[in-house]
Structures are given as C-alpha cells and as structure tokens.
Chain A
Amino acid sequence: MSKLTQSRRSFLQTAAFAGAAGLTGSFPGISWSAEGDTLTVRFDREMESLDPGYYVGGHPANDVNWCLMPALIYFGDSDSGWVPSPYVESIVVTDSTHIDFTLKKGFMWSGDNGELTAEDVAYSFERMKDSEWKGDYVAFDRVEVKDSHSGTIVLNQPFAPFVSLTLASGTGIINSKKALEAVGGKYTTEPPATCGPYVMEHKQAQWVKMRPNPNWTGPKPAFANIDCIFVTDSESGALAFEAGELDCAKITSSAYARYQKELPDNAALTVAGALQYMWMGINTENPKLADPNIRRAIQMAVDVDSIVAGAYSGTAEKSSGIICPGLVGHRSAPGYPYDPVAAKALIDEAGASGLKLTLRTLNAQERVLAAQIIQANLAVIGITVEIIPLDSGPFWEMGQESKGDTWKDMELHIMRFGAGPDPYEATQWFVRDQVGIWNWERWSSDEFEELYAKGIAETDSAEREKIYVRMQEIMEETGGYVWLTHEPEVFLHRADLDAHFAPTGEMQLASFAPK
C-alpha cells in the first residue's frame, strides 16, 4: 500500500474519470487516516455497556474505558506483566493480602465531581462484589482509606490473580463515587463522569470518537484524537485498512493467513496473544454419550492437526487444555493420542457403530470448517455427525438451563472462551456451580472443586503449575473435552504505528504512537 499524493496529474486523472462517469462531485484525495493527529481503528461491534461491573466481553468496553477512566495498573508489554498507571504515585504489594496505593493529585473528574480520590477506589471496588463480574473480586475484602489519595486494598485470602487479572483488566476500572451514586449506581454506555486523557463522543452503530480532555494533567497521548469506527464485517475492516481508512483493524484467521503470505505496503501484523481456547465439548449426561468408552473414542478420533491446517490455515496453535500458552499450568500435549484405529476399536467394543450425533457450532467460517473436519473424522470410526450451525444468540444460550430446554438435547458442541492472563479465570467456568450455566459438558468433581479453591489461594508458581495441570487432566478424564486450538487475536496495522495490545486482545489506544 502506498501513500497517495494528490499531484496535478492524479488530480487530472481523477477529474477525467469523474467527467466520464457523469459525476459532478469532487473527489478530495485520500490520505492515511492517522496522518496528523487522528488515529482511526476498527471496533467490530457496538458497545453494550462500559460499566466495569456489567460489561459483556472485553472488547470494545475495555478499549474505551482505558482511554476515559482511571485504573491503578495497566497490562504491560509482556503477557503476564503489569505497570502502574499514570494515575498512581506508587502501588506496592506489601504481602499476599495487602496492596498499598497512592494516587497522584490533580486528576479531575468531569462535571462537578471533584478530584480522583482513594474513596473513589474504595467505592468502585466495593460495588464489584455484587456485580456480574464478582468472580474477579472473590478474594477482595475492603479498601482501607488512609487519606484522600492513599489506601490499602485488603484481600480476605491470598489471591494470586488479583493484581495480574482483576486490577489490570477491565474490572479494575475506577468510577467517581459522587457521579455514580447520582445516577443510581449503574450505567451503560455513558459513564457518569470521566477522568482520562480523552473525552468521548458516541454515535450509536457508527462511531466512538475520543477527543482531548482539556482537564487532563497526565502524560499527553501521542494521538490527540482517536476515531473508533464500528465495522462489524471483518473482511470489510481489512478492505478499509487497505483503502487507507483504518490504521488498525482486528482480522480473522483466514485474513491472517492471507496477509502472512503478502502484506500490503506499510502494513504489519501483531498477534496480541492467544488467550482463547477452543474445544469440542461432549455432554456427559446425554444418554447416547453415557458410555465413557464412546467419549474416549471421540477424543482419539479427532485430527486436530487437520483442523489447524484446514480451518485456520496453520495460524492457530494446537490446544492441550484450557490454560493458554505462556501461562502457569499450560500443558504441552493432551493426555490422549490421535489414534483413529484405537478409537474405532473402542466404538466397536461399546457396540456404538452407526451412532448418530449432532454437533452444534457458532455459524462462523472457521468453526464450521472445524466442524466439517470433525464430521469426517468421526465418520471414520462409524459415527455420523449432523452439524447444526447457529447464530450467536441461540448459540450462547443453548447450554444454559435458564434459556430453554436445548441443553437437554445437546450432544457435541464446539465452544471457544477467552481468558485472562491467569489460569484461575479459565477454570472458574467448569466448577460445579457452573453446570447448566457455562459448564455445558455437565460434569463435576470433588477433586476439581478442591483444587479450584486451592489454586485461588496458592501464590507459589510451581504449586500452581501442578494444580492447574491436574485440573485439566481431570477435565480430560471425564471424556467431555476434545482440545482444539488456541486462536490468536490478530491485528493488521500500519507498520509505522507503535500499536499496544493487552494480552486479552484489547487495544490500549492511549498508548498507540507513531514510530
């Protein structure tokens, strides 16, 4: 991709075309969107809520919140690291249950909501205990406010992920106590008060525009303006990048494979982390799948290498569990082999040859392709699979008992979750309480529950490694899981743009800068 300059010749060419087409309008030259002081990025969906207690998914809520709202720490450049935010003078983990912090003075909330204080921190964290993200605050007890700008976060038990997961992610966002109380303690897409380097304008289903906050006293971001355009279709996002209208766009695996072969001029790819885990779930309570030998056979019959190659063009990493690469507890290989001959023998032994099963999947290109490969794999061992592709609405409800009766009919399903940079977050969806909510494989284990509680409190990395490896082994032993991939979050952006991403895949827009 080259920069278009509007020379006299190109102007005449343009004008000639316009004349030929019978158009009278003028065509101003297209320039790089980040030229000057405006950064333009793609948001792949509309914001549903910016409230840290009630947002759904990390993107785009966190991308926006990190520009508007204070936090004590941010994710650093490495996958597991963190850095103090510009709002804090100091933050020190004094022991396994106490974190001291001191805020810098002079950060003012919008409106008549005064200065950012330790009371705001205490109020913001306290309300999270009753929010939809209370799981991140399971070990949070209170904030002891020392003075207007300093305090101590007190945990009720050692909780290793509190800093790396809770405080650094979107749930660590701080709100103005005064402003939030004035609107009833909850909000959706309009924060009652903001305090970050930017202020926000929002046009529903069109864009979010960040403009400089005149009251900002922290370090000035490299881009004065950030335009976030809602481009729901991924391919349109890639095309818009190639046309020079976006500086950064999240792309699909297929586009990633395409761009790996040939990148446009002045373009670069960044893999923002592979903190997603995809698996094929097997409903262990379904009568057709009650025999553990059948589930074991299915595990051994699926050729994951073919899925990585065929559905993801080799861009995704082969999975061996729910703990993503680079995290404590990640396993290098699954505990079962790919062995269709042994799988067929197990099916014959179980007398299940000719078994007919349904495989439900989100109607997305890569997942449907993965489902088709699995369909072919299972046909080899005598299982006929009917693929049921579903739109996101019915898909995300099908295993939830509160959303109808589909969970009773579920047999096989392809599922993908995103994770934070700590193994605790991935394991929380598979405990006993989650059966019928997010544990769609519908199993439970006393040992798993014990290890889950132990993992929360354990701070020693070696011990945590053992705990989380064992927890994945337990999951695997149920026969409810065929580990598939860790799909990367990939961004296509200008090569001369220093782009920053959280390990969870959100854009840290305020840190973007020209190279």
Chain B
Amino acid sequence: MWWYLLKRLGLSVIIVLMAIAVLFVMLHSIPGDPVSIALGPRATPEIQAAYAEKMHLDKPLPYQFLIFVSSVLQGDLGTDVFSNRSVGLTLAEQLPYTITLAVAALGWAIILGIPLGCLSAIWPNSWIDRVTGILSVGTIAVPSFLVSIWAILVFAIMLHWLPVIGAGDEGDIVDQLRHLILPAFAVGLGWVGYLARMVRASMLEVMGENYIRSARAFGLPARVVVFRYALPVAILPTITLIGVGFGGLLSGTVFAEIIFSRPGVGRIIYDMVQARNFPVVQGAVLVTIALYVIVTLISDLLVSWLDPRVRDSL
C-alpha cells in the first residue's frame, strides 16, 4: 500500500507540474502585449514599465517560468491586476463556496442515486427499475443551467420559498443553507441519474458473480448479500466516478454560480476572463487543477484500500 501511495503521489506531483507548464505556455501564447492587456490602452509608458518590472515581464521567458514555479511552490499565486489584492486571498475567499456547493450537490445525488441504483439492480425490470431508468436518462439529459432557471421560476418567483442570488449572510447558517438549496439541486440533479445508472450496472454485474450465488445458497439474508457482499464491490467504479465528478465540479459549478450569482471559483474564472485579469485566472485554474488532482488521488487511494488488486495496476 505504501509503495502504491508513493507512486500515486509522485504521479500527482508530475501532473501538477505539467499543468503549471502548460498554463504558463498558454498564457504567454495569447496574442498582444501582456502589459497593455493587463493595464488597458490608456496606461502611460511609465506605468507600463513599472508593471512589467513588478511582474517580471521584462525578463526572458525561461526566467519568468522559473519565477512562476518558484512563486507557486511558495504559495504565492500573484496579485490581482485591478485590486492589488493577493490572488491567494481572493481564491481562499471563493473556494469554500465552491467546495460547499460541490459537496452539497454530490451529497444529495449520492444519497438518492446510490439507493435508487441498488433498488433497480435488486429488482430489475420492476416498476422501480423502469421509473429509475426514465428519471436517470431525463436528469442526465437536462443541462444544469436549464434546471437552474426552472428551479428559480418555480421555487423563487412562483412560490417565493427560496432565494435566488448570493450565498446568504455571513454567520447566518440557516440563510446560507437556504441559498444553497436551489444551486445544489440544479447541479446535483444530473448526478442522481449518473450514479443510479452506474450503481445499477455494477450491481447487476456483481449480483451475477459466483460468490454472490454461493452466499445466497448458504441462505444468507438478501440484505446481507446485497449490502455486505455485493455493494462493496459494485461501488468501486462509482467511487472513482464520484472522485472525478467532484474534481470536475470544482470548476464545473460555473453555470450555477453565474445564474445564482453565487461566489465561487468557477464564477471568478468567468468574470476574470471577461476582465482579462490573468493573474487571477492563472491562480484559480492552478488551484482547481491541484484540487482535482488531490480529489482523484483520494478516490484512487480509497479504491485501492477497498480492492487491493488495484495497487498493482499503476
């Protein structure tokens, strides 16, 4: 297990370093002078020169890359062009909102999707299986921004039950939860379908295995067969899917964050791309990549802990 952990950690570091290199190259491939892009057309030559010196843009590219990597490794993600605030501080403010939304969205999807998938597999072709099948395809097919608008129309405008914009007052947990319900519903709905279908397919496969037949032949109760023997094996691909999905949601919540005007990493990337505030974009993308790598690492480690065979596959 330790060897697997070391190999997996090494791979994660390589991925992050490659991502930093790709990001650096991409940002420096953008046409135009980065100084005038950052400062706008009316900046004086003196202001432009001072900015170039401050951001090391007057140095050769390899030197700039080394400075960039060194700064990132020291936790310095740069400075916001407009507000002069630390990008790290800005992201530290935004990240909890995105993580909360991703956890809430995937959380309710897991709570509903996995049991639905299990029930469908236990009673294939039953009414519950058919209803789950229809709902799964339906929820997967409807894009989350459409669900968001529909949810606003019904629950905020028609019924006035839930708020639309913002993340709620700081320090008021109830208000923050109320502001979380609609975005989490919109983002998580599609995942209910994904998870239900994934668990159903895995469970059906596992339920046909010899050891499950043996367990049944020994007269073990159905509950024990399903939850103690079948589900721990069938859930493995779902854990990987949840890991990848959570990582994706760290930037994939952008639609919900824009429509519900919630703070978050996805929205700040969108806003800052519009404003051409590249230090913030760069920092936010890096943080997203790092978190993605961490989350997939955790899910891989979890899977390898549950299924030791995986440890030899790297």
Contact = CB atoms under 8 A, between A and B. Distances in A.
A207 interface: yes
B312 interface: no
A400 B93 CA distance: 35
Interface string A360-401: 000000000000000000000000000000011110010010
7 contacts: A132-B40, A189-B82, A203-B93, A204-B83, A239-B153, A240-B261, A392-B274
Nearest to A243: B156
B37 A397 contact: yes
Interface string A220-254: 00000000011111011001101111100000000
Given A206-B167, A236-B259, 19 more contacts: A23-B181, A25-B174, A26-B174, A27-B161, A48-B275, A56-B40, A188-B82, A203-B93, A204-B85, A205-B94, A205-B271, A229-B165, A229-B166, A402-B36, A402-B41, A404-B31, A405-B31, A437-B41, A438-B41
A27 B263 CA distance: 22
B41 A245 contact: no
A315 interface: no
A438 B43 CA distance: 14
The 3 closest A-B CB pairs, nearest first, are A132-B42, A243-B156, A404-B31
Contacts of B261: 229-233, 236, 240
B188 to A, nearest CB: 14
Nearest to B173: A25
A391 B174 contact: no
Interface centre among A28, A46, A133, A243 (most CB of B within 10 A): A243
A245 B31 CA distance: 41
Contact of B157 (A204, A239, A437): A239
A188 B274 contact: no
Contacts of B83: 188-190, 204
Interface in B24-75: 31-33, 36-37, 40-44
Contact of B258 (A46, A48, A133, A233): A233
A22 to B, nearest CB: 10
Contacts of B7: none
A26 B173 CA distance: 11
B152 interface: yes
A231 B167 CA distance: 12
Interface in A1-60: 4, 14, 17, 23, 25-30, 45-49, 56
A403 B162 contact: no
Interface string B259-270: 111010001101
Interface of A: 4, 14, 17, 23, 25-30, 45-49, 56, 130, 132-133, 188-190, 203-207, 229-233, 235-236, 239-240, 242-246, 391-394, 397, 400, 402-406, 437-438
A243 B163 contact: yes
Interface string B171-194: 000110110010000000000000
Nearest to B40: A56
Q: Which of A132, A203, A235 has the most CB of B within 10 A?
A: A132
B139 interface: no
B163 A403 contact: no
A47 B163 CA distance: 24
Nearest to B264: A205
A243 B41 CA distance: 40
B274 A236 contact: no
B147 interface: no
B160 interface: yes
Nearest to A2: B160
Interface string B134-161: 0000000000000001001100110111
Indicate the member of A17, A23, A28, A204 with the most B CB atoms within 10 Å. A204
A25 B156 contact: no
Interface residues of B, number: 49
Contacts of B157: 239, 242-243
B31 A403 contact: yes
Chain A CB count within 10 A is highest, among B156, B164, B259, for B164
A28 B159 CA distance: 13
A205 B181 CA distance: 21
A403 B42 CA distance: 12
A406 B166 CA distance: 39
Nearest to B267: A205
A13 to B, nearest CB: 9
Interface string B271-290: 10111100000000000000
Nearest to B166: A229
Contacts of A232: 258, 261, 267, 270-271, 274
B84 interface: yes
A376 to B, nearest CB: 29
A48 B273 contact: no
Contacts of A189: 82-83
B157 to A, nearest CB: 5
B109 to A, nearest CB: 14
Contacts of A394: 31
A245 B156 CA distance: 9
Contact of A207 (B166, B258, B267, B270): B166
B90 interface: yes
A391 B164 contact: no
A400 B41 contact: yes
A206 B161 contact: no
A402 B177 contact: no
Contacts of A133: 42
Nearest to B258: A233
Contacts of B270: 232
Contacts of A27: 161-162, 178
A239 B149 contact: yes
A17 B165 contact: no
A246 B307 CA distance: 53
Contact of B165 (A25, A47, A231): A231
A239 B164 contact: yes
Given A232-B261, A233-B261, A404-B31, A240 B164 contact: yes
